[in-house]
Amino acid sequence: MKVAIVMGSASDAPIMQAAEEYLAYFNIEFETFTLSAHRMPQQTSDFARTAAAKGF
What number of residues does the chain have? 56
How much is the pLDDT for 46? 97
- Sort residue 10 into left (φ over 0), alpha (ψ -120 to 50) or beta: alpha
Q: What are the residue boundaries of the structural domains of the chain, listed by start?
A: 3-54
pTM of the model: 0.84
Question: What are the pLDDT digits (tens) for 3-56?
Answer: 999 999 999 999 999 999 999 999 999 999 999 999 999 999 999 999 999 999
